Amino acid sequence: MADEIKLTEKYEFNGWPSLARPDVKPPAGWNLELLTAVNLLGGHTLSPDGERLAFTWMRDELTEVYVMPTLGGWPQRVSHGRKLSWPGEVAHWSPDGRWLAFEMNSHVYTTPTTGGLPRKISDFASGAGSPVWMPDSRGLIVTVEREDSEQLLLTDRDGRWPRPLVTRTDGDCWEARPSPDGRLVCVRPAWAVTKECKSPVGVDPTNH
């Protein structure tokens, strides 16, 4: 059994406690000096297979989305011209790990994780956000503002004309969660105490 590492507590910014971790090393190609020189990193999410990491990098008046191997290496930028935004906003991996969906400049974009330019898929609205993948890695649920409320629409990674998940527009609707087979989507409407499960209206979720 390895000797126990003694952790010495110290206090840093505004009195928040921090523990030294001599057992943890940065990924290959990164070091403490580099990390503290890259402005602000955030929004990190693992790919479904755990082999890649998507994150946002705030620098040069932009907050771009990058992907890098979890074992280390230099990151690959997958967004282009993404305006400054809160770095905690995350990119969303498709269930098969082949696509990323993210918000950029008030719209939703998709891009293949193997490389290529991002594609805006929400031209049907003045703006969209909060993308949620369907289990088939093709369908996408996005949030748009209509009639002074947030509504959920079902489109796909190519941006086809959307279908509403709910027909009421007298209140906000959030937190879309598809079932594993994609036949139901649970949502949290403002007019209900609990979540409701809906079948995508007029759509066979298995054939987008």
Q: Mind listing the pLDDT tens digit for each residue in 23-32?
A: 777 777 777 6
Q: Mind listing the pLDDT tens digit for each residue in 2-11?
A: 677 666 655 5
143's enclosing H/E stretch is: strand 139-146
Give the model's confidence band at 151: pLDDT under 50 very low, under 70 low, under 90 confident, else very high: confident
Q: Mind listing the pLDDT tens digit for each residue in 90-146?
A: 899 999 999 999 999 889 999 998 888 899 999 888 888 889 999 999 999 998 887
Which one has a higher pLDDT value, 94 or 59? 94
Contacts of 63 (CB under 8 A, 6+ apart): 56, 57, 82, 83, 84, 85, 86, 87, 89
Rg (CA), the chain: 20
Q: Mind listing the pLDDT tens digit for each residue in 38-49?
A: 677 888 899 999
Paired residues of 102 in beta bridges: 109
Conformational region of residue 76, where left means phi above 0, alpha means psi within -120 to 50, and beta covers everything else: beta
Give the model's confidence band at 89: pLDDT under 50 very low, under 70 low, under 90 confident, else very high: confident
Mean pLDDT of the chain: 80
Q: What is the pTM of this model?
A: 0.72
